[in-house]
Structure 1
Amino acid sequence: FFGFFESINDYAVAEKLLNVVREYLKEKKMEVMRGPMNPSTNDECGFLIEGFDSAPTVMMTYNPEYYLEFMERYGLRKAKDFYAYLAPVTGEQITRLSRVSELVKKREPNLVVRPINLKKFAEELGKIKQIYNSAWSKNWGFVPMTDGEIESMAERLKPLVVPEILQIAEFDGKPAGFLMAVPDYNQVMKRINGKLNLSGIVKFLWYKNKIDALRLITLGVCPEYRKKGIDGLLYLESLKGAMKKGYKFCEFSWVLEENILTQ
């Protein structure tokens, strides 16, 4: 992998950067050069190829359009398409999912779906890591999440977490699945121009309560607990939380091209 690619609009500059990457990979006996991964599929990855007229949501990649020309000119080709979907948050979805959830609860009385417990955040993240490394293990580009990555994620995400939209499913008391959505804090960062000085902090605290969209980052169920309706319950409880908080829109991203069920 290569990642964190940045270049001015000058192909000669981009070519020199990519040449360094290629030579390094050759030294490491690598046969494929793939990227950008920043630094893996557990984080931001890929180039934006459509949707330049829309603002990026939190923790989603964004790049100048000329990057695409540079990559193709260098000889790189598409490996996978990642999709992002924008949907309204409505009560109609709750009505439909509620009917299904009642059937699931009757059929699976040992299934519990609940918000994350911020008072036990480290313990909860351990469960999320266990689910993640199981549920995503067969996905393209999967890299197991390490303890260090979990700790880094905890430090970055804890201030952003809204428990109502980060739901954990447990079956017989064992971690079975989770759904993580976060408010689109990019709406706030635009207001403060990315500056967290005293003025920026005041504006951040003011505008964070006016965020009207969220991003659904991950939804996964461990293989042994699939086809039990757990994903539907996770959606339902998170949707209820989103409506309670007043969010109007949700971006589902990113979704692999072969994930037909989500599409």
Structure 2
Amino acid sequence: MSDVTIRPVVTKADRKQFVDLAWDVYKNDTAWVPPLKDEVHGLIDPKKNPWFGHAKARLWLATRDGKVVGRISAQVDQLVLEHMGAGMGQWGMFEALDGEAAAVLIATAEAWLREQGMTRSMGPISLSIWDEPGLLISGFDQPPMVMMGYHRPAYQGWIVAAGYAKVKDLLTYEVDIRPAPEGVMARLVAAGDKNPRIVLRPVDKAKFDTEVAIILNLLNDAWSDNWGYVPLTPAEIAYAGKKLKPIIFPELVRIAELDGEPVAFMLTIPDVNELIKDLNGELFPFGFVKLLWRLRHPRTKRIRVPLMGVAKKLHGTRLAGQLAFMLIEHIRRDAVGEYQATHGEFGWILEDNQGMMSIAELPGATVNHTYRIYDKAL
């Protein structure tokens, strides 16, 4: 009989314990980057996160002898049901100190999903595909970049032991961005630069809300046929824009226009994890000032491309690849020249998205992290 007790997260104190558990789990792991606690609290707060406008979630804590030893969420998202299939429940925000706590937590999440009428359980998704999807299964030796998760190696075995099987892997690619492109990529970029129909422009932060809408609407269009796709709602687009604004630098974000129409974009951000690791998750009293100062003109060794897309009507055309390479090269020049970055990360990319994998690999990028999503019939 298990000595693990499960209780739902209800009070402010519960939510604090839910967030703070990660510091206990990873206290001896030098690759882990403490997230900003305020960001995690905002993610799970229905009053702040507009994801809750189309989804509901329950959170639980696992305790043993009064000590918190694990946490988990379970969620039902109406947009997931519409786009991934009826009966698809999900779970995430998963952390555990041992396998016994993990088993009880996963079983608790599954029981709630059954109560909601779900017939399949998928995870980890924390809380949506746009947040931190998947479980890290390779690349534990390297700290994750901003907006990507990090997990204990033991989690994979615990999840499989609960009856889960792989449904999809998500890959991130790393590349040394200091060398200029050669060969095919260089020729495509040079030809595109001479094409009067194509204009690559940096985002205009004076019109930030409009620019964010252009980018995220392009994202919804470009990714709409991808596995796992769930559209961002207008409220989520506005919320994402507000969160991203402090880490958006015009030289690192470009929109490609064809005959004056936006048809592609690439969003690149400094690896904010390098800037926050020493803050230990705390913005106050001094962390906020430190972060603001560091963001004035960040010097991070690594940059990350979390989002990139080409309008669906151009998919499968030579122009789609050309626009992607032009965006990569123009941003690379500024990342190296203006920000002194040395390495870049693309991703995540679906393991069967051959087009995006080819784009990532042509400059010489290699996979540095693999994240796995599992599912199980309930």
Instruction: Compute the TM-score of the two structures, normalised by the length of structure 1.
Output: 0.91
Tell me which residue corresponds to 1:132.
219
Match of 2:311 among 209, 222, 225: 222
- Structure 1 residues 138 and 171: alpha-carbon distance in aligned structure 2, compared to 1, 3 A threshold: same
Tell me which residue corresponds to 1:233.
326
Deviation at 1:24, TM superposition (A): 2.6
Deviations 1:46-68 (CA, angstroms, capped at 9, x unpaired) = 00001111111101011112211
For 1:250 and 1:190, locate their aligned partners in 2 and report how far apart those are by CA, in whole Å.
Answer: 19
2:218 partner letter: I
Deviation at 1:21, TM superposition (A): 2.1
- Are residues 1:50 and 2:143 paired? no
Tell me which residue corresponds to 1:253.
347
Alignment of 1:144-159 (within 5 A): 144-159=231-246
2:191 partner letter: L
For 1:105 and 1:205, locate their aligned partners in 2 and report how far apart those are by CA, in whole Å.
Answer: 36
Gaps of 5+ in 2: 1-88, 358-378
- Structure 1 residues 174 and 109: alpha-carbon distance in aligned structure 2, compared to 1, 3 A threshold: same
Greater C-alpha Rg: 2
Tell me which residue corresponds to 2:115.
27
1:220 partner letter: G
Alignment of 1:69-218 (within 5 A): 69-93=157-181, 97-106=185-194, 108-205=195-292, 207-208=294-295, 209-218=298-307
Tell me which residue corresponds to 2:368.
none
Deviation at 1:98, TM superposition (A): 4.4
Contact 2:90/2:124 (<8 A) preserved: yes
The structure richer in strand per residue is 2
Deviations 1:99-136 (CA, angstroms, capped at 9, x unpaired) = 32232244x52221111111111101111122111100
- Structure 1 residues 198 and 27: alpha-carbon distance in aligned structure 2, compared to 1, 3 A threshold: closer
For 2:172 and 2:235, locate their aligned partners in 1 and report how far apart those are by CA, in whole Å.
Answer: 28
Deviation at 1:233, TM superposition (A): 1.3
C-alpha RMSD over aligned residues: 2.0
Contact 1:94/1:239 (<8 A) preserved: no
Contact 1:94/1:240 (<8 A) preserved: no
Tell me which residue corresponds to 2:93.
5
Q: Which moved more, 1:71-80 or 1:237-246?
A: 237-246
Contact 1:7/1:13 (<8 A) preserved: no
The structure richer in helix per residue is 1
Deviation at 1:207, TM superposition (A): 4.7
Q: Which moved more, 1:224-233 or 1:73-82?
A: 224-233
For 2:127 and 2:197, locate their aligned partners in 1 and report how far apart those are by CA, in whole Å.
Answer: 38
| Secondary structure in structure 2 of the residue aligned to 1:130 | helix
Contact 2:219/2:308 (<8 A) preserved: no
Gaps of 5+ in 1: none
Contact 2:198/2:258 (<8 A) preserved: yes
Deviation at 1:237, TM superposition (A): 1.4
Between the two proteins, what is the percent identity of the paired residues?
A: 32
Q: Which moved more, 1:247-256 or 1:2-11?
A: 2-11
For 1:105 and 1:240, locate their aligned partners in 2 and report how far apart those are by CA, in whole Å.
Answer: 14
For 2:102 and 2:90, locate their aligned partners in 1 and report how far apart those are by CA, in whole Å.
Answer: 13
Contact 1:130/1:175 (<8 A) preserved: no
1:152 partner letter: Y
Contact 1:36/1:47 (<8 A) preserved: yes
For 2:147 and 2:182, locate their aligned partners in 1 and report how far apart those are by CA, in whole Å.
Answer: 27
- Are residues 1:14 and 2:107 paired? no
For 1:260 and 1:49, locate their aligned partners in 2 and report how far apart those are by CA, in whole Å.
Answer: 21
